[in-house]
Structure 1
Amino acid sequence: MARYHIETYGCASNRGESQQIETALRDAGHYPVDGPGAADVAIMNSCTVVEKTERNMLRRAKELESETADLIVTGCMALAQAEEFREEGVDAQILHWDDVPAAVTNGECPTPGPGTEPVLDGVVGILPIARGCLSNCSYCITKFATGRVDSPPVEENLEKARALVHAGAKELRITGQDTGVYGWDEGERKLPELLDRICAEIGGDFRVRLGMANPGGVHGIRDELADVFARHDELYNFIHLPVQSGSDTVLEDMRRQHRVDKFVEIVETFDDRLDHWTLSTDFIVGFPTETPDDHAQSMALFREVRPEKANVTRFSKRPGTDAADMKGLGGQVKKDRSKEMSALQREVTAEAYESMIGDTAEVIAVREGTGDSMKCRDSAYRQIIVRDAHSRGIEPGDTLAVEVTSHQTVYAFGDPV
Structure 2
Amino acid sequence: MATYHIETYGCTSNRGESRRIERSLRDAGHRPVEGTAEADVAILNTCTVVEKTERNMLRRAEELESETADLIVTGCMALAQGEAFADLDVQVLHWEDVPSAVTNGECPTTTPDAEPILDGVVGILPIARGCMSNCSYCITKFATGRVDSPTIEANVEKARALVHAGAKEIRVTGQDTGVYGWDTGERKLPELLDRICDIDGEFRVRLGMANPGGIHGIHEELADVFADNRKLYDFIHAPVQSGSDEVLEAMRRQHRVGKFREVVDTFEGRLDHWTLSTDFIVGFPTETEADFERSMALLADVRPEKINVTRFSKRPGTDAAEMKGLGGTIKKERSKAMSELKREICTETHASMVGETHEVLAVEPGTGDSIKCRDEAYRQVIVTDAAERGVEVGDLLEVEVTAHEAMYCFGEPI
Q: TM-score range by the shorter chain?
A: 0.7 to 0.9
Alignment of 1:237 onto 2:218: no
CA contact (8 A) 1:119 1:127 kept: no
Which residue does 1:394 correspond to in 2? 391
One-letter amino acid matched to 1:139: Y
Q: What corresponds to 1:290 in structure 2?
A: 287
Could you tell me which of 148, 151, 169 is aligned with 2:149?
A: 151
| Aligned 1:334-373 pairs, distance under 5 A | 334-373=331-370
Cα shift readout 1:371-401 (whole Å, capped 9, x = no counterpart)? 0000000000000000010122111110011
Q: Which residue of 2 aligns with 1:22?
A: none
Q: How does 1:1-400 map to 2 (within 5 A)?
A: 27=45, 29-30=47-48, 114=95, 119-121=116-118, 122-200=120-198, 202-400=199-397
- After TM superposition, give the deviation of residue 360 of structure 1 in Å: 1.1
Task: Tell me the equivalent position of 1:92.
Answer: none
1:281 match: secondary structure = strand
TM-score after normalising by structure 2 = 0.74
Deviation (angstroms), 1:38: 5.2
> What's the CA shift for 1:37?
12
Q: Is the 8 A contact 2:49 2:140 kept in 1?
A: no
2: CA distance between counterparts of 1:247 and 1:323? 17
In 1, the alpha carbon distance for the partners of 2:49 and 2:312 equals: 18
Say whether the 8 Å CA contact 1:179–1:212 is kept in structure 2. Answer: yes
2: CA distance, partners of 1:219 / 1:32: 27
**Contact residue 123 and residue 167 of structure 2 kept, 8 A:** yes
Contact kept? 2:173, 2:209, Cα under 8 Å: yes
Contact 2:371 2:386 in 1 (8 A): yes
Q: How many residues in Structure 1 have an aligned counterpart in Structure 2?
A: 323
Closer, same or farther in 2 for the Cα pair 1:38/1:180, shift >3 Å?
closer
SS in 2 for 1:130: coil
Distance in 2 of aligned mates of 1:393 and 1:233: 25
Following superposition, the deviation at residue 119 of structure 1 comes to 3.4
Q: Distance in 1 between matches of 2:217 and 2:358?
A: 33
What TM-score, normalized to structure 1?
0.74
Structure 1 residue 128 displacement after superposition: 0.1
Q: Distance in 1 between matches of 2:393 and 2:289?
A: 47
Question: Following the alignment from structure 2 to structure 1, what is the Cα–Cα distance between the partners of residues 279 and 49?
Answer: 21
Q: Residues of 2 paired with 1:302 and 1:32: CA distance?
A: 23
Q: Structure 1 residue 370: deviation in Å?
A: 1.0
Counterpart Cα distance in 2 of 1:223 and 1:199: 18
Cα 1:320–1:31, aligned 2, differ >3 Å: closer, same or farther? closer
Q: Indicate conservation of the 8 Å contact 2:48/2:139, yes or no.
A: no
Deviations 1:209-228 (A, max 9, x none): 00000001100000100000
Report the Cα distance in structure 2 between the residues aligned to 1:143 and 1:192, rounded to whole angstroms.
24
Alpha-carbon distance change, 346 to 123 in structure 1, aligned in 2, over 3 angstroms: same
The RMSD of aligned alpha carbons is 2.5
> What's the CA shift for 1:190?
0.3
Q: CA deviation at 1:276?
A: 1.8
Compared with structure 1, are the counterparts of its residues 27 and 360 closer, same or farther at alpha carbon in structure 2 (3 Å cutoff)? farther
SS in 2 for 1:280: strand
**SS state at 1:120 partner:** coil
Amino acid at match of 1:237: D
Q: CA deviation at 1:364?
A: 0.4
Q: For 1:329 and 1:298, how far apart are their aligned partners in 2?
A: 17
Larger radius of gyration: 2
Q: Is the 8 A contact 1:138 1:253 kept in 2?
A: yes
Q: Give ranges in structure 1 of 5+ residues lacking alignment.
A: 5-18, 20-25, 41-112
Q: 1:191 to 1:28 in 2, by over 3 A?
A: farther
Change (3 A) 1:251 1:36: closer
Identity %: 69
**Per-residue deviation, 1:180:** 0.2
